[in-house]
Copies of this chain bind each other. A is one copy, B any other.
Amino acid sequence: MSAKHEHIPKITIARLSIYLQVLEQMQREGVEVVSSGPLAKACRANASQIRKDLTYFGEFGVRGVGYNVCELIRAVSRSLGIDREWNCVLIGAGNLGKALIGHREFERRGFRIIGAFDCDPFKIGEEFAGLEVVCTRHLKERIQDKNVRIGVITTPPEHAQRVADYLVGAGIKGILNYAPMRIVVPADVTVEYVDIFHHLYSLAFALAPHKS
């Protein structure tokens, strides 16, 4: 079904996340059908852009009518690959790690954190949201045969590379890196960097007086 193989721009994926957010909001409000115009207005985007983004993955609309909200949510979810469960492990049980483990919304979205690891002896054995923190050394054995595809790094930057090596060694193919540190991984492993300050920086830039 999805993805004609003509290279989909990263920014299209970013926008799909926005469309999904807005569509879910519309669904909650009881909207059944929406056309690209009003959807674009709600997303503060351009209608043709939405139509083009969607046609990367298929034809989901009805000419003269628009898109069925529920169907489009399902189609976009399938296009993004979030119409299934993804098992994850998290390494680094600090403040951020604990907050993520406790954030049940991830589970609701199909991202199940099934293991928490840390190398700090004071944290090993602690329990958060029903998950015991295990020594990072045991990562590989603990996730064997569990179909874990995603690793989340929430360690300090100086441990990020070592942790990434552990994850790669354990067969992980996708890494979500919250550590403020670029990491090196083999070409078949995807890394997404989360910079929790980026949006604050953008705001500061927008608000700062540059009129020197």
Chain B residues contacting A31 (CB-CB under 8 Å) are none
Q: How many residues of A contact B (CB 8 A)?
A: 64
Contact of A207 among B79, B150, B193 (CB under 8 A): B150
B-side contacts of A181, CB under 8 Å = 21, 25
Nearest Cβ in chain B — how far from A76, in angstroms?
A: 10
Q: Which one, B43, B182, B205, contacts A13 given CB within 8 A?
A: B205
A123 at the interface (CB under 8 A from B): no
A51 interface contact, C-beta 8 A? no
Asked whether, in the complex, the Cβ of A182 is within 8 Å of the Cβ of B80, the reply is: no
Q: State whether the Cβ of A95 lies closer than 8 Å to any Cβ in chain B.
A: yes
A159 to B199, CA, bound (A): 21
* Copies per assembly: 2
Decide yes or no whether A170 CB sits under 8 A from chain B: no
A174 vs B96: C-alpha distance when bound (angstroms): 24
CB atoms of A176 and B203 under 8 A apart: yes
- Output the least CB separation between A146 and chain B (Å): 15
Q: A44 to B198: give the CA distance in the assembly, Å.
A: 17
Cα–Cα distance between A12 and B25 once the two chains are bound (Å):
30
- Over the window 175-210 of chain A, the binary record of Cβ atoms lying under 8 Å from chain B Cβ atoms (1 yes, 0 no) is 110001110000000101111111111111111101
A171 at interface, CB cutoff 8 A: no
- CB of A159 to closest CB in B, whole Å: 13
C-alpha gap A195/B80 in the complex (Å): 15
14 further A-B pairs in the complex, CB-CB below 8 A; given A106-B197, A176-B200? A3-B210, A16-B201, A17-B195, A17-B197, A25-B180, A25-B182, A79-B205, A80-B201, A82-B200, A84-B208, A95-B103, A105-B196, A109-B200, A174-B206
Flag whether A47 is at the interface (Cβ < 8 A).
no
Is the CB of A60 closer than 8 A to any CB of chain B?
Answer: no
A131 at the interface (CB under 8 A from B): no
A18 touches B201 (CB 8 A): no
Interchain CB contact under 8 A, B99 and A22 = no
